[in-house]
Amino acid sequence: MIKMLDQHQTPLLDTLKVCAEHPHAPFYTPGHKRGVGVSQKIADVFGKTVFRHDLPELTELDNLFAPAGVIQQAQELAAEVFGAAQTWFLVNGSTCGIQAAILATCGAGDKIILPRNVHSSAIAGLILSGAIPIFVNPEYDPVLDIAHSITPSAVAAALLEHPDAKAVFMVYPTYYGVCGDVRAIAQITHQYNIPLLVDEAHGAHFAFHPQLPTPALKAGADLSVQSIHKTLGAMTQASMLHIQGERIVRDRLNKALQLVQSTSPSYLLLASLDAARQQMALHGKELMSHTLQLAEEARTRITQIPGLSILQSPPLQGKLGKSPGFITLDQTRLSVNVSGLGITGFTAEEILNEQLSVTAEFASLQHLTFIISLGNTQEDMEQLVQAFTKLTEITSPSSPLSHKAEGEKIWDDVFTMGDFARISPREAFFAATEVLPILETTGRICAEILCPYPPGIPVLMPGEVITKHALEYLQQIQAMGGFISGCADNSLSTITVVKSKF
């Protein structure tokens, strides 16, 4: 019989508190010496208590890269709650977890199957590892202009063509809260005896309520990376990596994490993971029930506002069932389509933020997306609904913006343009480069990441041929108020390309 751990414990947080309160003369880092040396200006904003707890890897506080004490205990407690065989705490965000997952499973020249709408952190993992991406187009909704998940059939076809692939990688859920068929994709992947890696950054809360989507590990994934700070109560950058089964070599994963994590981990972040885990272990279902209730109320009321519509869970489609790229929706994620008001999501975001004191998670051409979490209140929901009511008064619902407007469907072309990778991302990243005016770059090999953000989905990445469609989409996003990250020239007047034309 498996012995259950005491989830009331917070071993790491408790030990940090004891160390902070222990009177002694500190001759170790950080230089502010438990808050004594901080600027008065920052002390006036944050207070000094937080700095007193900003401690290094003292003996009592364990070592993140070789845990044998309180960090190990905290990670074991987390593994039990999140349904993992082993859990690692991450202080460099889910970004380092995704990079480590790729490094642990793929070497230079190894193939990895992953979605074209992958997060930019996975591209960094390709550059670091030297792995060769085999991109699979996600299912795409041309009416809503939203890319969903990759489908089981698309993964099966990719593996049939590339049976030597070392891993399959997928995003679950997407930024919009859309969930693909992890269970089916895991079963297909495991037929080749390779692991399924899941970017579950936005799904840390899934394990705590039956009305939420199935957690990736429970559905059969071998590894998942979760941003505990995105939807639960940890501090920004505080994330976790979970694994199960034997398809991933744990020693190699440990070494990969040492490559991409700071050797001076913040104990403030680590302790927040310990506390967030305890909170959810003890009160998770209650907190998620309340969150789901708030989200449903907002969804119902906003749907009734003329000119607005909400991204809903997909209905059953006869004998075919649900869309294979959109199995279910995280009901705590609220995406509001504002095109019926005759404006873009970027314009709506600006109005809500500057005039109505409501800030969305991100905007796209047609949508505003909001993360509703355990930290939101009834007052927040009321303010959100009222803001949309006022938005319809400011704009004109009688002149909807057609989704067929010029540039509106560029994603369709981007996602169906095929495989235009000429060289590996790593080879392109380290190649000799030159900077060209944007109009002279079509047909050249990109040497940098060009990524509209959020949600952090690269349109062009190192090693890919620059296409006319991709440039049009980037310029369209920029013209409508979005911004492009990852590139040297934020104005998008120039792009860095590989010098050789190959």
CATH number, domain with residue 450 = 3.90.100.10
Judge if 266 and 357 occupy the same domain. Answer: no
Residue 171, beta-bridge partner list: 199
How many other C-beta atoms lie within 10 A of the C-beta of residue 437? 10
Measured over the CA atoms of residue 45, residue 235, residue 6 and residue 8, the dihedral's sign is positive
- Site of tokens 């991450």: 90
Residues 6 or more apart in contact with residue 442 via CB below 8 angstroms: 466, 467, 468, 471
Position 482 scores a pLDDT of 74
Report residue 160 as tokens. Answer: 């049939």
Judge if 252 and 165 occupy the same domain. Answer: yes
Judge if 33 and 103 occupy the same domain. Answer: yes
- Phi, psi at 27, each rounded to 5°: -120, 45
Closest to 366 in 3D by CA, of 146, 138, 141: 146
Classify residue 103: in a domain, yes or no. Answer: yes
Classify residue 429: in a domain, yes or no. Answer: yes
Residue 239, beta-bridge partner list: 90
Judge if 116 and 182 occupy the same domain. Answer: yes
Alpha carbon distance 230, 176 (integer Å):
13
pTM tops 0.95, yes or no: no
Judge if 109 and 231 occupy the same domain. Answer: yes
Closest to 170 in 3D by CA, of 248, 295, 178: 178
Contact 438, 491 (CB under 8 A): no
pLDDT in tens, 411-451: 556 655 445 667 899 999 999 999 999 999 999 999 998 88
Sort 372 into a burial class: Cβ within 10 Å, 0-12 / 13-18 / 19+: buried
Position 456 scores a pLDDT of 57
Angle formed by the axes of helices 120-129 and 93-105, to 10°? 40
Alpha carbon distance 326, 182 (integer Å):
11
Position 144 scores a pLDDT of 82
Judge if 358 and 244 occupy the same domain. Answer: no
Classify residue 3: in a domain, yes or no. Answer: no
Residues 6 or more apart in contact with residue 69 via CB below 8 angstroms: 60, 61, 62
Judge if 355 and 474 occupy the same domain. Answer: no
Q: SS3 sequence, 198-209?
A: EECCCCCCHHHC
Position 396 scores a pLDDT of 67
For 34-61, give one letter per residue: b (16+ CB within 10 A) or e: bbeebeeeebeeeeeeebbbbbebeeeb
Classify residue 344: in a domain, yes or no. Answer: yes
Instruction: Give one word for 227, left, alpha or beta, with left for phi > 0 and alpha for psi -120 to 50.
Output: beta
Domain end residue (candidates: 258, 280, 302): 280
Position 318 scores a pLDDT of 44
Closest to 421 in 3D by CA, of 184, 194, 126, 47: 126
Cis amide linkage into residue 30, ω under 30° from 0: yes
Alpha carbons within 13 angstroms on the beta-carbon side of residue 192 total: 23
Judge if 70 and 109 occupy the same domain. Answer: yes
Position 473 scores a pLDDT of 85
Domain end residue (candidates: 256, 280, 304): 280
Judge if 128 and 276 occupy the same domain. Answer: yes
Position 116 scores a pLDDT of 85
Helix (H, G, I), strand (E, B) or coil at 496: strand
Classify residue 227: in a domain, yes or no. Answer: yes
Residues 6 or more apart in contact with residue 202 via CB below 8 angstroms: 173, 174, 175, 177, 227, 230, 231, 330, 333, 371
Residue ranges for the chain with pLDDT beneath 50: 317-320, 403-408, 417-418, 454
Judge if 451 and 388 occupy the same domain. Answer: no
Classify residue 1: in a domain, yes or no. Answer: no
Judge if 432 and 386 occupy the same domain. Answer: no
Q: What range defines the domain where residue 242 resides? A: 11-280
Q: SS3 sequence, 342-381?
A: CCCHHHHHHHHHHHCCCCCCEECCCEEEEECCCCCCHHHH
Judge if 123 and 149 occupy the same domain. Answer: yes
Domain CATH code at residue 118: 3.40.640.10
pLDDT in tens, 78-117: 999 999 999 999 999 999 999 999 999 999 999 999 998 8
Position 120 scores a pLDDT of 85
Distance set, CA 344 to CA 117, 135, 341, 395 (Å): 21, 29, 8, 11
Classify residue 363: in a domain, yes or no. Answer: yes
**Number of domains present in the structure of the chain:** 3
Classify residue 6: in a domain, yes or no. Answer: no
